[in-house]
Structure 1
């Protein structure tokens, strides 16, 4: 993968993510972690090679069909991208609203999801009034509200303290237990060390190591 005519930011990668798996993507700044996530959630296409999602070669998928695949992927962005003028409830419900669902169809499910991530009493709050950990959990709720098959998270613990990072990690673990494939790009070596999950380690845009299982938590 390259941006414009610049040098390749990713090259020579070859790996598979089994359905229902949980992987970390690690590596120093500039190693290509965010770029790899962009390829997976179809925000970018590879300059060479093949990316397969759900058994489909994404290079052969028509542009008008990409939203169909993207609806099967949830993303927690590094900068969260919450809408400050919408309540926590409306931020979480936004993917359903965009998909054309009526509030009467999703009101109960969204409220239950927000309660599950610990925001049951903050549903009417605007994002600027939420603490950092609350914003992270709201972003996770929005990413999974439409029950995606794959959940991608870019530095989800980057702006929270250690205790909140553990709470957020446990949410990902629970989602994975429910069947969602989870991929987390992170610098948080403490989170990685506590997990018993495979690690994709990038160095200079290449896959330097695929560590099978880390030490048990």
Structure 2
């Protein structure tokens, strides 16, 4: 993968994630972690090679088919990407609203999830009134609310304290137990050590641990 005419950000990478697996993606800042996640959730296309999702080669798919694949992927962005005019509750419930589900069918579940991530008393607040850590937790709640087939998280514990970090890890583990494939990009060595899950490690755009040999 490259940005414009710049040198390749990622090159000669090969790996697969089995359905229901849980991996961490590690590497120094600038190693290419965020870029690799962007390839997986189809924010960018590979400049060469192949990306296969759910058994389909995305390089051969027409653009109109990509949104259907994206709906099966939950993403926690570093930039949060919250909708400022929607309340905490409505931001968390956005994937369910897009599916045109009636609020009565998800109100209790969304409320329980927000309570779990420590936002139970902020459901009616707007994002502008939240701290960085609260925005991070809201972004996580939105990403997992509809139990996606794949969850991609970019530094999901970067703005929270150690206690909340471990609580969020338990949330990811529970989601994984329900069948979601989880890939978390992180610098948090304590979280990686506690989880005891396999690691994909990037160095200067190459996968040096956990990939195909």
CA contact (8 A) 1:50 1:58 kept: yes
TM-score, with normalisation over the residues of structure 2? Answer: 0.92
CA distance in 2, matches of 1:160, 1:119: 13
Once the two structures are overlaid, the 10-residue window that deviates more, 194-203 or 137-146, is 137-146
Q: Kindly report which structure 2 residues correspond to 1:100-139, keeping only aligned pairs within 5 A, or say none.
A: 100-139=100-139
Structure scoring higher RCO (CA < 8 A, sep ≥ 6) equals: 2
Deviations 1:55-80 (A, max 9, x none): 11111111001010000000000121
Once the two structures are overlaid, the 10-residue window that deviates more, 71-80 or 127-136, is 127-136
Secondary structure at the counterpart of residue 91 of structure 1: helix
CA contact (8 A) 1:136 1:156 kept: yes
Deviations 1:66-122 (A, max 9, x none): 010000000000121122332111101112223333434433332233234343332
Secondary structure at the counterpart of residue 164 of structure 1: helix
Q: Is residue 186 of structure 1 aligned with residue 168 of structure 2?
A: no
Instruction: Name the counterpart of 2:197.
Output: 197
- Name structure 1 gaps, 5 residues minimum: 212-217
Instruction: Name the counterpart of 2:67.
Output: 67
Instruction: Name the counterpart of 1:169.
Output: 169
Structure 1 vs Structure 2 CA RMSD = 1.7
CA distance in 2, matches of 1:50, 1:84: 36
Shift of 1:170: 1.6
Q: Kindly report which structure 2 residues correspond to 1:35-46, keeping only aligned pairs within 5 A, or say none.
A: 35-46=35-46
CA distance in 2, matches of 1:122, 1:159: 18
Q: Is residue 29 of structure 1 aligned with residue 29 of structure 2?
A: yes
TM-score, with normalisation over the residues of structure 1? Answer: 0.90
Deviations 1:120-175 (A, max 9, x none): 33211222333443322211111122221000000111122222222221211111
CA distance in 2, matches of 1:174, 1:136: 19
CA distance in 1, matches of 2:163, 2:29: 24
CA contact (8 A) 2:147 2:175 kept: no
Q: Kindly report which structure 2 residues correspond to 1:131-170, keeping only aligned pairs within 5 A, or say none.
A: 131-170=131-170
> Deviating runs (4+, > 4 A) in structure 1?
none
Shift of 1:179: 1.3
CA contact (8 A) 1:74 1:144 kept: yes
Aligned residues: 211
CA distance in 2, matches of 1:133, 1:179: 27
CA distance in 1, matches of 2:199, 2:22: 9
CA distance in 2, matches of 1:45, 1:160: 32
